[in-house]
Amino acid sequence: MKHRILLAVVCVCTLASGGASLQAQALEPIRYTLRFPAPHTHYVEVEAAIPTAGRPQVEVYMATWTPGSYLIREYARHLEAVSANAAGRALTVEKSTKNRWRIATGGAPGVTLRYKVYSREMTVRNNWVEAGFAMINGAPTFLTLVERAARPHEVRVELPSTWKNVQTALLPIAGATNAFRAEDFDTLVDSPIVIGNPVTREFTVDGKQHVVLFEGDAAMIDADRAAADVQKIVQAGKNAMGSLPYPHYYFMTMVTEQGGALEHKNSYLGMTGRYATRTRGAYLSWLGTLAHEYFHAWNIKRLRPVELGPFDYENENYVKTLWVAEGFTDYYADILPRRAAISTREEFLDGLSSQIEQVQVTPGRLVTPVNMASFDTWIKQYRPDENTANMSVNYYPKGAVIAFLLDARIRKASGGARTLDTGMQWAMQRYSGDKGYTPAQFYAVMSEAAGVDLKDWFARTAESTEELDYTEALDYYGLRFRPVDVETAPPYIGGGTRNDAGRLIVTSVRRGTPGLDAGLNVDDEILAIDDVRVRATDGLAARLAQYRPGDTIALLVARRDRLMTIDVTLGADPGRPWRLETAPNATDEQKARFEMLMNGK
């Protein structure tokens, strides 16, 4: 890769690459015991038996971030009461950095480390412990040795009497109860653990066990219907990628009225509301998220950018191809439910249209190439503010749109013989596991699938700020963007607002809009237009509808409590000009091509 910037990174993490399995056999495992003596107080107590190999001092650390969620989160802040002993003798434990501890072993062959973790953050990265259940993630829970070795890690869970079982994709240890083994620290971090009384359903595809589970407030969830549809998505995934790459797979949904989901190698952990299966919109949204995380079992967990492994769990890991890892996954998240006959053709087109629209109304698409949006995700995508859309582009929708355009390009160039599925399968065969791909390698394998060199095409779409060209894809499938009647377009200013307890507050002002040009600021409170009060409850749009594009209005705002009037000449609302539909003159051949995309052929 051309710009691989890892010079400042000191990797202390365990390694999953060459020779790791041999090392793993030789190294004694770290053995953790998790206890929940008072789960209603939101603590998990951790005991770790750590082998020292006779060293006078060992150092342990806690990860600062979770792979798949690119922000330093400082999990060590939730730890307390860190202590260690050996053979009943207390040892000196000294904190050496924000997330590391040094233990003086006194020459003991093993030490027992104990600590408590406050666990009350219902996000896919963190932990939650309450009277009813526990959700444990590896990164914020397990202190491990500072070493470059693939050491096995074992976890035993002591269940409170009211909790029924432990669910995790980790392999159970034969002959032990509620005990599991990870071949290395990466696997431990990559295997969330749900403990409690979950609702579970199971099915088998290709001889592989799949578990669909719901924990939390699952009474309203239609688990039977969900499991039946998840099975269809698994089948669609297998059809697209050729085979199932995992030994078994756990679909883990916490029904907790929160959102978010995170991929793992043999499982996914997500959150949803109790009504997720009650309306079609909510259900498709849940299944779409599930399909996204599930497709990651191929794209990112196995077929991965070269930079995403071995992980440095204490520092940022920079990568330029998250538009492939996340964006292409988003494309498949829309297409798998369609191929599973769960969503309709129109729902697929609507989803794809929304992805296109999200890219095309983002001013930052003309400022930041999507590969650099990926690189800077640690400081931008995961730390958005009111100006993010003006200076950067979201690599999820832009990557999905590139996948759509690339799929059409491969199909057209190969005369329909090959598709994006072909390219992804070939990439998987060549670069999955320990290898990883560079951007150039990814471009090359896709070029091979197309039968033409796509290097320049990728340079334009992914490494420049050029506008995406939809002509070829639309023409190939017989699609068009629905025409917009500019004559009837409503007037607009181009800023986002929110109702803050009755105050109408500006939340964003996008580049290239009348609002920005006139000097409207984020956090301005809009009070009146042409000396007549604007009420937050009515909203700005209703009031603007009384004007025409081209009119100049006097906008009275309060900025840091000082009143001022801003003259704004209203523009014409671009509306939603990016809605795809079948072109009226589409030929049968074009329509047939689109059906092949829909059917996975």
Residue 8 has φ and ψ, to the nearest 5°, of -85, 0
Minimum distance between the CB of residue 512 and Zn ion, rounded to whole angstroms? Answer: 30
User: From residue 293 to residue 332, what is the string marking binding to Zn ion with x (rule CB under 5 A)?
Assistant: ---------------------------------x------
Closest-by-Cβ residue to Zn ion is 326
Site string for Zn ion, 190-229 (x = CB under 5 A): ----------------------------------------
CA distance 226 to 250: 13
The nearest distance, CB 325 to Zn ion, in angstroms, is 7
Interface characters, 15-34, with Zn ion (x: CB under 5 A):
--------------------
Which residue lies nearer to Zn ion by CB, 196 or 270?
270
> Chain-centre distance of CA 302, in angstroms?
15
Alpha helix (H) residue ranges in 171-318: 185-189, 223-241, 280-295
| Residue whose pair of structure tokens reads 């014409």 in the numeric block | 572
Question: In this structure, what token pair is assigned to residue 307?
Answer: 């930079």
Could you please report the per-residue DSSP string of 475-487? HHHTEEEPP--GG
Beta carbon nearer to Zn ion, 130 or 326: 326
| Closer CB to Zn ion, 20 or 325, in the complex | 325
- Shorter beta-carbon distance to Zn ion: residue 293 or 573: 293
- Pick 316 or 326: Cβ nearer Zn ion: 326
Strand-strand pairing, 525-529 and 503-509: antiparallel
Provide, rounded to whole angstroms, the least separation between the CB of residue 296 and Zn ion.
6
Minimum Å gap between C-beta 330 and Zn ion is 7
CA 165 to chain centre: 28
- Of 326 and 448, which CB lies nearer to Zn ion in the complex structure? 326
Residue 493 · residue 568 · CB < 8 Å: yes
Give the nearest distance from C-beta 391 to Zn ion in angstroms. 23
The CA-based dihedral angle spanning residues 484, 487, 489, 493, taken in that order and rounded to the nearest 10 degrees:
130
Q: Comparing C-alpha atoms, which of 490, 498, 494, 491 is closest to residue 511? A: 494
3 state DSSP class of 531? coil
- Binding-residue total with Zn ion (CB under 5 A): 1
Residues between 511 and 540 with contacts to Zn ion, criterion CB under 5 A: none
Residue with smaller CB distance to Zn ion, 61 or 396: 396
The CB-of-480 to Zn ion minimum distance in angstroms stands at: 30
Contacts within 8 Å (CB) and 24+ apart, 589-592: 590/475, 590/476, 590/477, 590/478, 591/478
263 within 8 A of 269, measured Cβ to Cβ:
no
- Give least dist CB 305 to Zn ion, A: 13
Give the x-and-dash track for 400-419 against Zn ion (CB under 5 A).
--------------------
- In the bound state with Zn ion, the residue whose beta carbon lies nearer, of 101 and 328, is 328
C-beta of 161: minimal distance to Zn ion in Å? 37
Residues that bind Zn ion (CB under 5 A): 326
